[in-house]
């Protein structure tokens, strides 16, 4: 299990990378591994608002569809269009394969750092 340091994590296994006023959101290694081979990302639209804890997109693996929950609230200012053509990037490099970029971010304090997330994952397994 690869847990990248310097990122924040949600209990629903999304990671958040803080870059000034913006954050990038992606799926943790645990999440991509649980989903298996990812074949489609239903990318949301720029400008959409997302609410922490609510599904903002869904991802299809060969096996099934999974909701992806917003780890924080905010406004989508960019989506990773690369995932439209190559959704398996999330499997091959989950910490590079960001899904959305958000501004007007709220709820960062509720997230775990990598150490806390490691403990969380260990207890979930």
Partner 1 sequence: MEEKLLRTPLYECHLAAGGKIVPFAGYELPVQYEKSGVITEHMAVREKVGMFDVSHMGEVILSGPDALANLQNLMTNDYSDLADGFVRYSPMCYENGGVVDDLLVYKLEDNLYYIVVNASNRHKDVEWMQKNLKGDVQLKDISDDVAQIALQGPLAEAVLKKLAAESDIPQKNYTFVRKAPVGGIDCLISRTGYTGEDGFELYTANADAPALWNKLLEAGEEFGLIPCGLGARDTLRMEAAMPLYGHEMDETISPWETGLGWAVKMAKEDFIGKAAIEATGRPRARVGLKITGRGIVREHCDVYVGDQKIGHSTSGTHCPYLGMPVAMALVDAAYKEVGTQMEVEVRGRRISAEVVKLPFYKREK
Contact 74, 122 (CB under 8 A): no
Decide: is 58 part of the binding site for partner 1 (CB under 8 A). yes
Backbone dihedral angles phi then psi of residue 42, each to the nearest 5 degrees: -80, 80
Decide: is 48 part of the binding site for partner 1 (CB under 8 A). no
CB nearer partner 1, residue 37 or residue 103: 37
How far apart are CB 13 and partner 1 at their closest, in Å?
A: 17
CB nearer partner 1, residue 6 or residue 36: 36
Please give the full DSSP string across the chain, using - where no structure is assigned.
----TT-EE-TTSEEEEEETTEEEEEE-HHHHHHH-SEEEE----TT-EE-TTSEEEEEEESS-EEEEE-SSEEEEEEE-THHHH-TTHHHH-TTT---EEEEEEE-GGGSB-HHHHHHHHHHH-
Q: Which of 21, 49, 63, 110 binds partner 1 (CB under 8 A)?
A: 63
Decide: is 84 part of the binding site for partner 1 (CB under 8 A). yes
Decide: is 1 part of the binding site for partner 1 (CB under 8 A). no
How far apart are CB 91 and partner 1 at their closest, in Å?
A: 8
Interactions with partner 1, residue window 4-33 (CB under 8 A): none
Residues that bind partner 1 (CB under 8 A): 36-37, 39-40, 42, 58, 60-65, 84
């Amino acid at each position: 299990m690869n847990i990248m340091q310097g990122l924040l994590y949600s209990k629903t296994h999304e990671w958040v990378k803080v870059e000034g006023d913006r954050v990038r959101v992606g799926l943790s290694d645990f999440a991509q591994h649980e989903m298996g081979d990812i074949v489609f990302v239903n990318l949301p639209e720029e400008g959409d608002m997302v609410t922490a804890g609510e599904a903002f997109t869904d991802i299809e693996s060969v096996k099934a569809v999974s909701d992806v929950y917003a780890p924080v609230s905010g406004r989508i200012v960019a989506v990773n269009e690369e995932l439209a053509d190559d959704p398996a990037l999330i499997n091959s490099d989950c910490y590079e394969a960001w899904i959305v970029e958000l501004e007007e971010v709220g709820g960062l304090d509720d997230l775990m750092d990598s150490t806390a997330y490691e403990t969380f994952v260990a207890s979930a397994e």
